[in-house]
Structure 1
């Protein structure tokens, strides 16, 4: 559940964006030298942007491009500017059978991969069947649980057959498609395709220096036309402050920044700030396998002790909203009445009644166990650090002692079963995408899925019910049940939903934002449609 990690807690459902928070802060040298954007000393048709994290793999077979818009690859469908599904490698939205079990796609003709190999239905079949193969190390396989089979009917028709009606299945077909002839001729999990991919997308990867940058060039073969931005560099800079410094120095043309740092560019007329609505939340995992965080009274007390609105106002500078679960409060799937107001007195009463009594130092104790635990956050992530410190401060007022600690994901991951983490997640599209991998008990311990090892039979039953029907009323009832159960026994303390802020040099026509998932950087932000940008004053594509 981190911002990126090959296994994200959601379905971004499941856990991957499947990208791993493996990036390290890059040195303050220009990421691309002459290949950078105009602001980085390069040509006007080149762009260099700063991102916080890089993927672990660039193979769709291992989870990359699950949510579409990967730049290197295309899916059968894509998301348009309004967030709705639109045809990509398919010529139209799928034809769906009356029973909701068959989805038929007609494919574009004349499409090729960047190496000139023709794209056909066999590539689609290969991609989905390989993902479903248990031998493939794809942590997001549960996202395709409803898929029974996929078959080609000639070169330009693909038919998906489902085990049960799964309402959001079409959303799953934004998934990037890999070439069968190349990826299928090598080890799926460790072959060169994982770092040197070939796709049908608008850009071609020309270089990847792990922990430093990814460099792309425009794909002249792209079925949508060759992009006007000929070179795109994504500099991997984990530290927020360093990203801002490099942007201010002209080393970057754009970057994602936390609110406080984005605000420092407000007076710069050469820069423009873009705000993107998101499903991205910050939450504290409360591991079941810990004497303190696994106690229901502690969980309930923390849920009302935390001042979410103060976090939105002070940490996010108003660019977000309180979170009471993975579903944003402005979503049609949010269950009204499950909001938890900030109530320190109620938190203390809950603990008193459960036998957690204040010790001499004010920290509560029960049966010899002190109400104390560590809370980890990824080093360099200022937003998570600020959330963690505010959370610990609120908890202290209720008599719970939280020690905030920073570390790399290599340090944090082995501790996740027993120690709390300031985590992130969130995926637009459908409530199943987030809640299933976050809460299903059988996914506990599966990478970044169900990091808290949450175990609630009522929730498990509702999760299955919600994904196994396309009846909207039945689905709403299932997700209402889940959200109400999280009030009774919250295995996580949800804090805020965060709007993403990006600062970009104002030299192009075309940048905009979409409703974004937790995972952001490579395919999100104002550069989600960089292939459609034109330098200001240049002829439109």
Structure 2
């Protein structure tokens, strides 16, 4: 089993964008006639039927863990060997046994053993055994499967059966395999020798989770609680997911009572905060947004220019104005939720005067139009963002306004991902990341390491960095958690602050609206870039109780 070390582009941007909502839109304007028309439809469970209806921006189907569904151990349909557990979203969750009966235990250097629960059955009635675990992890790196989440395997080189009820996990270096053991396990009989996106379980899922798929239509999926589930029987017996891609339409359906919950952009969620019977739930995330910078532009290729742009942006104002206060400034891919790995001294404080001085000293002087020049080169570039992503659009516009103050001209431009990929060398891109957030390595390695063979085209597109940065990243990746590695990650952030490769802007909090129908549930945990109503208040549906 080969080791995959980079998040592929299909998951880093294209795939994850399909599984996330559009994140920002104008304030909600409810059309009275429409609200009255919806009022007759209700998701309220006042009759005690144990049902909720959720409106999601994510297209329905695609229920295959090897194609990005349930990759982090959060899914009503699938479970991993371990699962996340935390009281709230303010910290990185603990990873506790799910299909494993005990946490992984080191049995020799680089080898960890996990016994499996012996009372688990898949939703098709077949029993879980070690062959299913081995087949799932082997498929991750099978070229024929072309898994979009092959990076989920991290340092794991092999997963082997030790009898029918235990597996051994072999890793390179001293890394703890726990963050890589969250992937939803599928029956070995359902593994196919073709691209994961085409597997039958994408539309006919078979998992060990507390729910099974009862029906699937383009605009509606119905999950029902399993009577044969190995864990505690869910009190919530049916969950109906409706595909509602328009942000305002989801908000309207919440207000009217047609649905019980929805994921909403921050400002739109804020507009519902005072609505009677509606609660707005905010979840911290490691979901970052950054401006990648091109290598073939003379201005962005100058490290002085990259440092000046980092100093010119008021990230706190950006969070307040663009995200409605629901987020946190980002100077690097590592947020404060990573505890001792986080380096407060590596944050950028807005300093427009110093940014201007740095550019002056580097020879970038203002021309008659106010835009800086050095010789025949201008301090200007195009900033691409996904044309249908209003949050990235608004961040791009805010970034352009910030750097204009120091004589830099940025032209925000909506584009398709195919167009964007073809222009990475010449144009900047408003990127997002934070997919495999329960391991800090995934937050930094592909974003900050210079490009290597097989890397995603969206991993550090400008290929900016240094041998020292690469060395630290590689050492951190191969090392065990603890004080020494925490110090290494703090050093990585300090080095990045001196020689930045891009401009990180913000960590985006995820916002959800929930109708108050008398249910109690676990608060959200720290969330990844890709989310939707599988996350938020609904990440652990068996916790829902009256």
* Mean Cα deviation higher: 510-519 or 334-343: 510-519
Could you state the TM-score of these two structures normalised by the residue count of structure 1?
Answer: 0.87
Counterpart pick for 1:474 among 459, 484, 492: 484
Deviation at 1:340, TM superposition (A): 1.1
In 2, Cα distance between the equivalents of 1:288 and 1:98?
A: 45
1:19 equivalent among 16, 19, 26: 16
> Quick check: 1:364–1:370 contact (8 Å CA) kept in 2?
yes
Contact 2:19–2:532, Cα closer than 8 Å, also in 1: no
Corresponding residue number in structure 1 for 2:423: 415
Q: Secondary structure at the match of 2:334?
A: coil
Structure 2: give runs of 5+ residues left out of the alignment: 23-30, 88-92
Query: Which residue of the other structure, out of 468, 472, 475, is the alignment partner of 1:462?
Result: 472
C-alpha offsets along residues 451-502 of structure 1, whole Å, 9 cap, x if unaligned?
4444432222111100112162332233223212321222221111222221
User: 1:78 is matched with which residue?
Assistant: 83
| Cα distance in 2, alignment partners of residues 402 and 395 from structure 1 | 8
Task: Give the Å deviation of 1:289.
Answer: 3.8
Partner of 1:245: 252
Distance, in Å, in 2 between the alignment partners of 1:482 and 1:462 is 7
Residue-by-residue CA offset, 1:229-248 (whole Å, 9 max, x unaligned): 23323334444334323322
Q: Is the 8 A contact 1:8 1:19 kept in 2?
A: no
TM-score with structure 2 setting the length? 0.86
**Structure 1 counterpart of 2:27:** none
Q: Is the 8 A contact 1:203 1:217 kept in 2?
A: yes
Map 1:442-461 onto structure 2 (within 5 A): 442=452, 446=456, 448-461=458-471
Retained in 2: the 8 A contact 1:240–1:380? no
Residues 278 and 517 in structure 1, CA contact (< 8 A), matched pair in contact too:
yes
Shift of 1:157: 0.8
Q: Aligned partners of 1:19 and 1:49: how far apart in 2?
A: 20
Structure 1: stretches of 5+ with no match in the other structure? 1-6, 537-541
Residue of structure 1 equivalent to 2:319: 312
Structure 1 match to 2:397: 389
Q: Is the 8 A contact 1:81 1:514 kept in 2?
A: yes
Q: What's the secondary structure of 2:198's corresponding residue?
A: coil
**Partner SS state of residue 442, structure 1:** coil
Does the C-alpha gap of structure 1 residues 81 and 488 become closer, same or farther in structure 2, counting only changes over 3 Å? closer
Query: Which residue of the partner structure matches residue 90 of structure 2?
Result: none
Per the alignment, residue 379 of structure 2 pairs with: 371
Distance in 1, Cα, partners of 2:529 & 2:540: 18
> 1:142 deviation in Å?
3.7
Q: Where does residue 56 of structure 2 map in the other structure?
A: 51
CA contact (8 A) 1:19 1:64 kept: no
Question: Is the 1:58–1:197 contact (alpha carbons within 8 Å) kept by the matching residues of 2?
Answer: yes
Instruction: Give me the whole-angstrom Cα distance separating, in 1, the residues matched to 2:376 and 2:60.
Output: 44
User: Which of 141, 162, 165 is 1:156 aligned to?
Assistant: 165
**Distance in 1 between the 2:148 and 2:230 partners?**
31
- Secondary structure at the aligned position of 1:175 is classed as coil
Say which of 507, 510, 515 aligns to 1:505. Answer: 515
SS at match of 1:174: coil
**1:123 to 2:128 alignment:** no
Deviation of 1:334 after TM superposition, in Å, equals 1.1
What do residues 375-423 of structure 1 show as CA deviations (whole Å, max 9, x unaligned)? 2233454432332221111111111111122344455444344322222
1:533 to 522, 535, 544: 544
Q: What RMSD in Å do the two structures reach over aligned CA positions? A: 3.3
CA deviation string 1:498-539 (max 9, x = no partner): 2222110111222521122222114310110123313x4xxx
Question: What CA deviation, in whole Å up to 9, does each residue of 1:315-370 have, x standing for no partner?
Answer: 33333221111111353211232111101111111212222221221111223222
Aligned length: 521
> What secondary structure does 1:38 align onto?
coil
1:417 & 1:43 partners in 2: Cα distance? 57
Secondary structure of 1:346's partner?
Answer: helix
Report the equivalent of 2:190: 182
How far off its partner does 1:448 sit? 4.2
Change (3 A) 1:456 1:510: same
